[in-house]
Amino acid sequence: MKTLDRHHREVSCQIYEENSCKFSVGFVDNRPPDTMYLMLERDDEEPTIFYFRPDEMATIGWLATGVLWSSEMERRNYYYEE
C-alpha cells in the first residue's frame, strides 16, 4: 500500500502513460473508518478526489460493470445485424 500523503493510503491504481493520467483507490485516515476514495490525476492539474462509503464504492463498481456489459452487448448486436 502506498501512502500518498498523511491522509490517503493507495490500495490499487491504473496508470495511463499515453494520456498522462492515473486512477487510484484507497482508504482515508482522517475520516470515518470506512471512508474510501477514488482519485483521478492528470499531469499539471489538481487531482479530483471522490470520497465514498463502502456501499457507495460498490455501487460505482456495479454501475461501471453494467455500462461495460451493455457496451459489449451493443457491439455484438451491431456485428450480428450486418
Please report the pLDDT score of residue 79 as a whole number: 74
C-alpha separations of 20 from 15, 17, 31, 43, 44 in Å? 8, 5, 29, 6, 9
What three-state secondary structure class fits 11? strand
DSSP code for 43: T
Cα–Cα distance between 28 and 8 in angstroms, integer? Answer: 5
Kindly give the confidence (pLDDT) of every residue in the chain, 82 residues in length, as a single tens digit, with 9 standing for 90 and above.
454 566 889 999 999 998 899 999 999 988 888 899 999 999 989 999 999 999 999 999 999 999 999 999 998 887 777 6
Question: The pTM is what?
Answer: 0.76
Give the model's pLDDT for residue 13. Answer: 96
